[in-house]
Structure 1
């Protein structure tokens, strides 16, 4: 086998020549081998590196050298291009972008248990069935044996381990709670915490889909009336649905129609909300959760939206889960 050549890092040196012998006449003896010719110069490593540096400098200089006929963009050209794009391209609305951001974190929450006989429960059941194209009094196909669908609401994932915020009135009295994630994955959930003074409940899903994305929460300290918001949820079980509006007031109070409970420090908004939106997120145009939709003003018994909804600020809502975010 041929051995590979080995190269030494030490410089090459020639051995010192021995002094030639002279004969008695003082002339050097004749040699049959002529003296070797001087080797031609060969570039070393430093010369090769210098050559590479010079080549790179020439290439870079050619790239930056102004080319004849090239046009320099001005601010006017940039403005014209932006205007042309706005005129020819349909951009998504701010509410659409916000809903797209928060949608992976929004879940449908359904509570099952003994059937309620209250007028409110009957109205919600009729609305859900009519929305699904069913007779008003048709039973739910998804209910566990011996139970009925008592309430449909919305929740929002705040921790990627399956921690969900919703309204207490959505799941109160339920024997079984089911949540449906944005990708269609279904799981049962249990109540791990409640905050009755703010009508809030914390759920823990027993199973979660892969790559579950929690919502981003945003402080309401700088929130002002007139700020744009969107409500994402499942009104009458339909959804996820999106409605847009503005913050119409802060630090509002609301008393339930039955007069059993009064909520305070609420965000008032005019984005459409109906039964089923309860527990869903109220978000800004960056898709960040500002609050949890909890009630709508109902001067009548029709339970339809008349332009005033209320949400619990996210500071209160997150504290219900034992993790104040701010």
Structure 2
């Protein structure tokens, strides 16, 4: 009788001789097949495919949720979508300006005027000479001047310098220089000086026409009253085209600007300026009915048009 093979690779059971064709499982073959190939996947292929499909479905769902969350987060941080831009109205602008004015401290008009004119204001001292012709340190006069050309051309009053043998000017930065008279206009008590030495950054004042001045306009007088200064006093224009006769009665002046900003001896020759710091006149006299040389509320200035013509400058 023929023996069956112990390690057959066949999956079919062998037919036994004389068994009438009955099929008997081959234990060796079954064992060998079980050793080489797992039974579970081959027995449940549909369940395996369902498990893989479910896993892929869960992964797709997870990434979909992540993408949706990212989109919602982007939308929440997008300002145009959260707060659509609103067109500014005139009311918004007015409110912003009002808020700025309420919270910001602005310089006063007087401060602006002073800061503008002060670089051009000079102190003028008139000195004499002793018997030997040497400089006498005693002051003969003190007054004020204003630079009208940055080459060192200065306007002042004639009575400030006419009796001085030596004229000294002190600029705003402290520089001192001697000066000489280059022109006079006695009818308006004006003198033009040329400084012999000037600062590198000398600034000339801006002159303005008096054509549109009116009583009530604010003005400021800047100078060295009694040699103290620079000092500033603020007031208004009290009148125009005034006449004034000197205390000695020797001179009659006309077409003067009357103002009430405080002025005293030493202010003579200084600028009378608007709140823009522009020169409209040269302070020349104060009304002095009690002969005390103190201010009683009335001062006079020569219009800048007259003063400019004394320096050979064309009128406005």
Asked if residue 253 in structure 1 is aligned to residue 243 in structure 2, the reply is: yes
Match of 1:148 among 138, 142, 147: 138
Asked if residue 110 in structure 1 is aligned to residue 125 in structure 2, the reply is: yes
1:217–1:325 CA contact under 8 A, matched in 2: no
What is the TM-score when the length of structure 1 is the normalising length? 0.69
Distance 2:143 2:208 in 1: 22
Match of 1:88 among 81, 92, 103: 103
Distance 2:172 2:105 in 1: 26
Structure of larger gyration radius: 2
Unaligned runs of 5+ in 1: 1-65, 116-143
Unaligned runs of 5+ in 2: 1-78
Distance 2:145 2:302 in 1: 13
- Do the aligned partners of residues 276 and 73 (structure 1) sit closer, same or farther apart at CA in structure 2, a change above 3 Å counting? same
Q: Mean Cα displacement is larger for which, 171-180 or 74-83?
A: 74-83
**CA offsets, 1:46-65, max 9 Å, x none?**
xxxxxxxxxxxxxxxxxxxx
What is the TM-score when the length of structure 2 is the normalising length? 0.71
After superposition, residues 183-202 of structure 1 pair within 5 angstroms as 183-202=173-192
- Backbone CA RMSD of aligned residues: 1.6
Give the structure with the higher percent helix: 2
Cα offset, 1:114, TM superposition: 6.0
Matched residue, 2:290: 300
**CA offsets, 1:171-190, max 9 Å, x none?**
11101111111111111000
Asked if residue 97 in structure 1 is aligned to residue 87 in structure 2, the reply is: no
Distance 1:102 1:276 in 2: 17
Match of 1:72 among 76, 83, 87: 87
Asked if residue 215 in structure 1 is aligned to residue 205 in structure 2, the reply is: yes
Matched residue, 2:59: none
Cα offset, 1:236, TM superposition: 1.0
After superposition, residues 115-264 of structure 1 pair within 5 angstroms as 145-264=135-254
Cα offset, 1:151, TM superposition: 1.0
Asked if residue 280 in structure 1 is aligned to residue 270 in structure 2, the reply is: yes
Q: Secondary structure at the match of 1:81?
A: helix
Relative CO higher for 1 or 2, CA cutoff 8 Å, sep ≥ 6?
A: 1
